[in-house]
Amino acid sequence: MRTSVVIIGGGPAGLLLGQHLNRAGIDNVILERRTRDHVLGRIRAGVLEIGTVEQMRSVGLGARMDRKGFVHDGTIISYNNDEIRIDFAVHTDRSVLVYGQTEVTRDLYEGRDADGAQTLFEVDNAVIEDATTDAPFVTFTRNDQGHRIDCDYIAGCDGFHGVSRPTIPAEVRREYEKVYPFGWLGILSETPPVHDELIYANSDAGFALCSMRNANLSRYYIQCDASDDPASWSDQAFWDELRRRIPGAYADILQTGPSIEKSIAPLRSFVCEPMQWGRLFLCGDAAHIVPPTGAKGLNTAASDVYYLANALKRHYLDADGAALAGYSERALARVWKAERFSWWMTRLLHHFPDQSAFDHKMQMAEVAFLKSNAEAQSVLAQNYVGLPY
């Protein structure tokens, strides 16, 4: 079998890239390790930058998103009972869209079905071969049978635990990592959101986030020990802890109910340089991870895809290879800014187990400065809505 681009990973990065290529008439095959239902069952990101929104529209998949997504013109940052509203409309000419990653992924799969493009699920043992030659190929097993696909290029969109990044030899790769000493315990509940904007709350008891999916579906997170077992957190214990961490005015009106999903996500900052090796290009979580505090993971995956899709289009449609050669440098320039913002938001809003009384005072002073300074609010707003591509 032969195709132009083999895409390893059928998460949002791989699917969005595939959709851009389908629209440009560049044939591609997606190899996904899991089933489609498994991919669609993962509860992850909730906030889309305008760049991600515009890409979904540009590949012809904006209709359901524009109908069902919620435009947010601001967000709340709080510390105990003190709150600051960051007004995106005042500080930028943009907003964000609250529309879940599950929905984005579903729209992308439906678009791929409509185009008749090939996705192979339950693919095991994918191996990338000859990436530094002009005839790379990928081998894999499926239903106990061995397969090989020859191609021009390989897009490694297989997430943090995929095979693409480790294919780049260790002596070529440089990895930068910071692991945070806590996790996020998240629940989904069929209750109305406590507020119509997101609330990022720091408190003496630690971080909490109030987010949402729709008018009757809330997504809440609290900072927890990275080693906690979600099963050891009863719903009641979760709600009690959330109430302690958000301003009293919200705690008083919080509507609780049974959780329909409960899981713990570890927090990590990670970047792999370069994001290209020969004809292998990394996109999204395969190359970098951010802690979720800035809502940047999916959006940074989307900006990588934008650069790579345009570079592949220039190669195939205009016979211009320069953009492909510059992909890694271009993507990394934006990645590092998203890393910085996510690290900064995480540091501002969490309780660090080893933090001294001085560190605590620094955090409070930073919140106080943010509250009193329009430029500081503007910097937060510009980063949150998404830096330009």
Residue number with CB closer to ligand PHB (283 or 290): 290
User: Could you say which of ligand PHB, ligand RFL, none residue 168 binds, taking C-beta under 5 to 8 angstroms by partner kind?
Assistant: none
9 interface partner picked from ligand RFL, ligand PHB, none, CB below 5 to 8 A per type: ligand RFL
Give me the active site residues, please: 72, 200, 292, 296, 384
Window of 160-168, 326-334, 345-353, 368-376 that interacts with ligand RFL by CB under 6 A:
160-168
Cβ distance to ligand PHB smaller for residue 219 or 279 = 219
Which one of 11-19, 83-91, 171-179, 287-295 is the stretch in contact with ligand PHB (CB under 6 A)? 287-295
- 123 binds, options ligand RFL, ligand PHB, none, Cβ within 5 to 8 A by partner type: ligand RFL
* 159 lies in the site for ligand RFL, by CB under 6 A: yes
Phi and psi of 141, rounded to 5°? -115, 150
Q: Which of 295, 324, 348, 380 binds ligand RFL (CB under 6 A)?
A: 295
Q: Is 291 in the site for ligand RFL (CB under 6 A)?
A: no
**Which CB, 36 or 371, lies closer to ligand RFL?**
36
Stretch of residues binding ligand RFL (CB under 6 A), selected from 42-50, 88-96, 170-178, 319-327: 42-50
Residue 10 CB, nearest approach to ligand RFL (Å) = 5
Cβ 187 to ligand PHB shortest distance, Å:
11
Closer of 45 and 324 to ligand RFL (Cβ):
45
69 near ligand RFL (CB under 6 A): no
Binding site for ligand PHB (CB under 6 A): 45-47, 198, 209, 211, 219, 292-293, 295
